[in-house]
Amino acid sequence: MTFTGKVAVVTGAASGIGRATALALGRRGARVALFDLNPEGMAETAAQLQQAGAQSQSYGLDITNQEQVNQTVAQVVERWGSLHIMVNAAGINQAGPTSYGPGIEVSEADWDRMMDVNLMGTVHCALAAAQYMRPLRRGRIVNVASVAGAVPRMNMASYCVAKAAVRMFTKCLALELAAFSITVNAVAPGPTQTPMLGSAAGDADPQALERMIAGNPDIYRLGVPLGKLGQPEDVASAIQYLASDEAHHVTGVILNVDGMAQLT
């Protein structure tokens, strides 16, 4: 599998799944535009890409701002002449003081922030990419959803709803762009060892991750039958496939990368 000659944008590239995906694509020949609000994290990702002999460019932007997204995607195309792959890995699992708790107690501001980042950020970036892909009748858009968008979680209503919306947006956009030979898919990670996981599991509780794997009747009801947490590289491998030429006949798919957490 090679991405030589391809231009890719990866959002959330400063850490976690976004970083792992940027590194995977860059090491296989893609020129990678890094989108994130964390300059220090992007600098580390860029340094690792440079060590691997890959080309990258960092862009600090707020994906919830549609105008910023459109302008920045235009800058990528102006710099490298095209856009072949858009990976929407940016996301949050906590938007404010009430967002991780009973749905009845989540504030409107925290609902709005969760939807703005996880759903509308994905929408803005995917549609901005599609504007350049449609005339060329080619392109790959891969969104990062979650098993939490299909299986409810206690005290995570706003996150679950936002990720469920990402799943349906993926399918709707895939249908709309099929006539242009553009594929749109999503990966749905289960519990994955990223910085974001700590806040969901409870950073101060050393047994929280073990309970997440085993299954916690109060919160993580299903557990992970495969018996281990996923790694960002596991998700990045699935994203690579969906972004590749080999996946030209795969679209509208939600690919679980979850150790069977969703299906138990």
Residues noted as catalytic: 159
Distance in angstroms (rounded) separating the CA atoms of residues 94 and 101:
10
Residue at 152: amino acid letter: P
Are the C-beta atoms of 255 and 188 separated by less than 8 Å? yes
Residues in CB range of 256: below 8 A, 6 or more apart: 147, 187, 188, 190, 262, 263
Cα–Cα distance for residue pair 231/215, rounded to 1 Å: 18
Encoded amino acid at 38, one letter = N
Residue with tokens 């992970």: 224
- Strand pairing category for 56-60 and 182-189: unpaired
CB contact at 8 A, 5 and 29: yes
